[in-house]
Structure 1
């Protein structure tokens, strides 16, 4: 999460979203754009974690029904 706030573009690149990282870097270059870029990266990270939790939960429910 710290990486998403301090270096938002790098947060995307580390997670394998290179084009999104480049777009975020362009936004981050401006001083005003830094805050939206950091918020975007943090929300994206939280959404990715929530999606993983949901996939794991669905998998566990399916396995328990067998």
Structure 2
């Protein structure tokens, strides 16, 4: 999470979203754009974590139904 706030573009790059990271870097270059870039990266990170958690729950429910 700290990486997403301090270096938002790098947060996307580490997760394999290269094009999104480049767009974020362009936004981040401006002083005004730093805050929206940091918020975008943090929200994206939280959404990715929630998606993984949901997938894990879905697999667990499917496995219990068998």
Residue segments in structure 1 that go unaligned for 5+ positions in a row: none
Q: Report the TM-score when normalising by structure 2.
A: 1.00
Distance 2:40 2:28 in 1: 11
Distance 2:5 2:36 in 1: 10
Q: Report the TM-score when normalising by structure 1.
A: 1.00
Match of 2:4 in 1: 4
Residue segments in structure 2 that go unaligned for 5+ positions in a row: none
Q: Which consecutive segments of 4 or more residues in structure 1 shift more than 4 A?
A: none
Let me know the Cα RMSD of the aligned residues.
0.2
